[in-house]
Amino acid sequence: MSELATVADLAAAGIDTTDEVSVKARLRAATLTVLAALRGCVYDPEDTAFRQVARDAVVAQVAAMAAYGITPGQPVRPVVVSSKSLQSASVSYADATALTGDGARLRTGGLAPGAQAVLEIAGLAPYVTTRG
């Protein structure tokens, strides 16, 4: 597998790299996710500009995974109920954003919006994106 980014790249981007096991797991998963997103794209893997874009996409992916507390190979954090009520059966969860939207996409191996934007801006998106 190609190394698109390094632990030093993550540290330079301000990502906490003290937990070596988590960092390596995130870096590997992020690299695989970015490479999967590049399927169907035509690029020279040795091109300096491509390598910079790929590095930035991997760093963005790792940053998103870290922000949501996602470490591949680790169990999902338990869901914590922050409030509940009996009438109208309302339940609220602490940190519910990690379970929906971008957090859910990341947990299932999807590309983070920041990483996707990096690839799209560089013209490395082999698919059509509809927004709005």
pLDDT in tens, 41-82: 888 999 999 999 999 999 999 999 999 888 887 555 555 555
pLDDT band at 40 (very low <50, low <70, confident <90, very high): confident
pLDDT in tens, 102-117: 777 888 888 999 999 9
In DSSP notation, 43-75 reads: --TT-HHHHHHHHHHHHHHHHHHHHTT--TTSP
SS3 80: strand
Distance between CA 63 and CA 42 in Å, rounded? Answer: 26
- Find the mean pLDDT for residues 120-128: 80
Q: Over 80: is that where the pLDDT of 5 sits?
A: yes
Show me where the domains of the chain are located. Answer: 7-75+110-121
The neighbour count for residue 50, using CB atoms within 10 Å, is: 17
Distance between CA 38 and CA 125 in Å, rounded? Answer: 7
